[in-house]
Amino acid sequence: MSDRIAEQDKRIARHAEREVELKACKKIIKEIKERKERLVEEARNKIDSAEARQLILARCERTLYATVEEYLAQYSRSLRSSLENLWEKYHQPLHSILKERDAVSIELSGYLMELGYE
C-alpha cells in the first residue's frame, strides 16, 4: 500500500512540475507575441506609405508568380500523362500495321480457299 502511495506521490510531483513548466512556457509565448507585435509596430512606423505599397506589390507579385508556376507544373504533368497514354495506345508504326494486315489477309484467304469460297 505504501508503494502505491509513493508512486502516486511521484506522479503528483511530476504533474506539478509539468504545470510549472507549462506556466513558464505560456509566459514565454506571451512575451514572444508581445515582442512580435512591438517589432511589427516599429516596422510600420519606419516605412512610409510608398514603401509599404512597394512591399505589398512585391509580395503580391511573388504570390502570383508562385501560383502561376504551380498551375503550369500541374498542367505540364497532366499533359505529359496524356501524351504518355497516347504513346502507349498508338506507338505502333504504320509499316508494322500494314505487315500485320497483309499476314492476316493471307491467313483469311487460306481459310476462304479451304471453305471453297475462292
Which phi and psi angles does 47 have, rounded to 5°?
A: -105, 150
Q: Which of 53-62, 72-81, 85-94 is the least confident region? A: 85-94
Which conformational region is residue 47 in: left (phi greater than 0), alpha (psi within -120 to 50 degrees), or beta? beta
76-95 burial code (b ≥16 CB/10 A, e <16): eeeeeeeeeeeeeeeeeeee
* Band of residue 1 on the pLDDT scale cut at 50, 70, 90: confident
> According to the 3-state scheme, what is the secondary structure of the chain?
CHHHHHHHHHHHHHHHHHHHHHHHHHHHHHHHHHHHHHHHHHHHHHCCHHHHHHHHHHHHHHHHHHHHHHHHHHHHHHHHHHHHHHHHHHCCCHHHHHHHHHHHHHHHHHHHHHHCCC
* pLDDT of 24 above 90: yes
| Residue count (the chain) | 118
Domain boundaries, the chain: 1-46
pLDDT classification of 37: cutoffs 50, 70, 90: very high
Instruction: Look up the pTM and report it.
Output: 0.45
Predicted pLDDT at 49: 85
Average pLDDT over residues 66-87: 96
